[in-house]
Each structure stands twice: as C-alpha cells, then as structure tokens.
Amino acid sequence: MYRIYLMGQSAGAHISFCALLEQAIKESRGGESILWSISQIKAYFGLSGGIMEGEESFEKFSPELKIKDPSIRDAISLLPPIILFHGTSDYSIPSHASKTFADVLRRLGASAELVLYYGKTHTDLFLQDPLRGGKDELFDHIISVIHADDKEALAKDAMAPPRERLVPELLLKMARYISPF
C-alpha cells in the first residue's frame, strides 16, 4: 500500500493537478508506457489553487475545463480523493475558484472535498499561521487525513505538545547554535 500524497499551493496546485490528470488520462487510454501510477497517490491536496488564464491556452491547461471533456470521462474515475483548501479572504485567487472546481469534480464523479478557512488570505494557511505558532488548522487537517487509518499515529497526534511559534523565539534559539560568537 502506497502512502504518497500530492500537494501544491497556488500555481503549484494548478500544475500538480494538471500532472495528475494527464497521468490519469494516459492510464485510462492504456497502451502507453508509464513510470508511475495514479493508484500510488493516496490523496491530492490543492491549496489556494486557480485555473489557467490566457485565452490561447485556456482549454488545454485549465483543469476545470479539461475534466469536462467527454473523451476523458474514464480518467476521472482513476483520480485519488481530492481535497481543496482555500482562504475566503484570498484576493490573489478568490476562493470561489476552488468551490467551482470542487463542484465540477463531484458532478463528474470524482471524490472531492472543499475546506474553506474564513478570513484567511492566499498565504495565511501555509506561511503566516505556522509562523505565528499555536493552532495550525491546515496542518492539523492534512495530518488527520494522512493518519485517518492509523490509530497509533492518531493517538500520538492527540498527545503532541503545541507547536512553537517559529518567529522570533525559535529563530533566536536556532541562531545561538549557528552563530560563532
């Protein structure tokens, strides 16, 4: 059993999903040599992702449009569970992009979940929240998915001490070990 998870943020979410979809298309058509299989990916996490812009490339590189193509319907069933995370105060890529994408995925039969974080911006979830320390909702959610079938890991997670604030206290501690003075 593979325990590989694929995750991307912003443009990385877009690119990683495109790679996942292309692999699913290859596998659904058969006959092509493949180096890895969709079945190896336990879940896909897309964080603050968007769709491709630009009219000349839109249909080819927009996952939302590409998955609607009837010729690749068999590929959709091969996709792993998809979990999209988005902050509702994201002005770089509005959260409605993830909502629309999740709706289309579900309508086509994919397992897709959308988790919205109210008041969070494009970078709060993976940058500012961990730097602030304390509760890190995104990290906790991802770990709960990864450890969902592992009772021992879940028990350890429940007993884990709170994470330290990354800045400035922890950086000062680290600087003492690095500095030659």
**Could you tell me the CATH number of the domain that includes residue 101?**
3.40.50
- Furthest CA-CA distance within the chain: 65
User: What is the pLDDT at residue 5?
Assistant: 94
Domain hosting 70: range is: 4-178
With 70 as the cut, is the pLDDT of residue 94 above it?
yes
Considering 14, 16, 90, 136, which one is annotated as catalytic? 90
Considering 16, 122, 129, 136, which one is annotated as catalytic? 122
Buried b (16+ CB within 10 A) or exposed e, 152-166: eeeeeeeeeeeeeee
Range scoring the smallest mean pLDDT among 57-61, 72-76, 111-115:
57-61
- 73 confidence band (pLDDT: 50, 70, 90): confident
Active site residue 10: yes
Q: How many domains does the chain have?
A: 1
Query: How far is residue 33's CA from residue 27's CA, in Å, rounded to a whole number?
Result: 9
